[in-house]
Copies of this chain bind each other. A is one copy, B any other.
């Protein structure tokens, strides 16, 4: 029997086919909420067009996961039913995200909570879970695939990691909406070239070039967008605003009804209009953020080989600079931006290699290639660890001098 579907227009994938049971999840207010959480928190203050949200991204991940599923199904690794489950895991992989996406994550991580924990809670205990059960799906299985805990590692790797639907969609989408990088990821080629070796996701050797190219795009997105000096300035301010209002909003105590309210603009307008004296600091950051009065970067350094500097705690560094510059500690902000040179595996471990499959006359063989042998990837690795010191315009000179002096001594 034909299944009913709707084609949703999307600039990245032309159109995304959505089946009826998926639509009932998407149309639920828990999912609709993702429309109000920007994919890139504060990047639109630097890249004005980057207004896209977790909503479109989630549809996109479902779409690419589905293509990957079909490719593996044709190669005999996946049953047709599994594709449906993979689609749902892709659709729901970000359902636990809070306001300002990864910034919210940084706040709750301090209490050892992750967006995946919230995601599991939502899938297992909310209406979303009820819809899944009603449509004959095992909601527990879906959390296992969505959040990196299935028996078949390759299913998790289709959702997150260096060959994942998540990364392919966000690179394509963030590039398209920022305008920083024009879609250079041959995701169709990569998904068509996926393979499986010993329950792990692998890639046909002939698509290695596309993989290297994608890793380079990732590097450029980090440099140009995710770790951009001004983007991080905005995000440091949002982080401070969130941190100073955690007691008020109770970010880490999950309560579904309240959680649904917590969207980017809700947080900002609540803070801006709040009269509470306890929120004074958070309010100031929110106002300055909205009016684009951003912190200034007075020091920047790539940390790669600076071992002494890496050992020091950011709070200690801040205090030392404060002391030397005679600028109050809460007017100095130490920001350390780090990412591995290729994305983390679903296990959250750093990937050290990629499995390549070569076919010759019908026979295929697998080989594990160390990441370090891919020239562009290894070149990149050193440039993904940046330390920056921010402060207010008025303190600029003093903090700059202090920062240079202190960090100079450490090196």
A7 in complex: contacting residue of B189, B213, B364, CB < 8 Å: B189
Q: Across the two chains, which residue of chain B brings its CB closest to A181?
A: B184
A interface residues, how many (CB within 8 angstroms): 67
A362 touches B1 (CB 8 A): yes
- Is A323's beta carbon under 8 Å from chain B? no
List residues of chain B with CB within 8 A of the CB of A15.
186, 188-189
- Is A232's beta carbon under 8 Å from chain B? no
* Binding stretch for chain B, among A28-36, A88-96, A392-400: A28-36
- Is A156's beta carbon under 8 Å from chain B? no
A2 touches B75 (CB 8 A): yes
B179 touches A292 (CB 8 A): no
Q: How far is the CA of A178 from the CA of B209 in the complex (A)?
A: 15
A379 touches B375 (CB 8 A): yes
A11 touches B375 (CB 8 A): no
A51 touches B48 (CB 8 A): no
- Is A197's beta carbon under 8 Å from chain B? no
B10 touches A179 (CB 8 A): yes
Q: How far is the CA of A316 from the CA of B122 in the complex (A)?
A: 48
A9 touches B180 (CB 8 A): yes
- Is A52's beta carbon under 8 Å from chain B? yes
A182 touches B179 (CB 8 A): no
B359 touches A178 (CB 8 A): no
B362 touches A2 (CB 8 A): yes
A36 touches B362 (CB 8 A): no
A44 touches B48 (CB 8 A): no
- Is A147's beta carbon under 8 Å from chain B? no
Copies in the complex: 4
Given contacts A182-B182, A182-B183, contact A49 B10 (CB under 8 A): yes
How many Å from the CB of A232 to the closest CB on chain B? 16
CB neighbors of B among A1-24 (8 A): 1-2, 4, 7-12, 14-15, 17
List residues of chain B with CB within 8 A of the CB of A17.
192
How many Å from the CB of A252 to the closest CB on chain B? 23
- Is A405's beta carbon under 8 Å from chain B? no
A48 in complex: contacting residue of B55, B184, B361, B364, CB < 8 Å: B55
CB neighbors of B among A350-386 (8 A): 359, 361-362, 364, 375-376, 378-380, 382-383
List residues of chain B with CB within 8 A of the CB of A303.
none
- Residues 43-69 of A, flagged 1 when their CB comes within 8 A of B and 0 if not, give 010011101110110010000000000
* Binding stretch for chain B, among A102-110, A216-224, A239-247, A274-282: A216-224
Q: How far is the CA of A29 from the CA of B7 in the complex (A)?
A: 39
List residues of chain B with CB within 8 A of the CB of A359.
2, 4
A362 touches B4 (CB 8 A): yes
- Is A299's beta carbon under 8 Å from chain B? no
List residues of chain B with CB within 8 A of the CB of A47.
9
- Is A308's beta carbon under 8 Å from chain B? no
- Is A266's beta carbon under 8 Å from chain B? yes
B14 touches A292 (CB 8 A): no
B209 touches A11 (CB 8 A): no
Q: Across the two chains, which residue of chain B brings its CB closest to A188?
A: B14
B362 touches A178 (CB 8 A): no
Can you list 14 A-B pairs with a CB-CB distance of less than 8 A? A2-B364, A7-B189, A10-B49, A11-B177, A12-B179, A27-B291, A36-B265, A49-B56, A182-B184, A216-B216, A219-B376, A265-B266, A375-B379, A375-B380
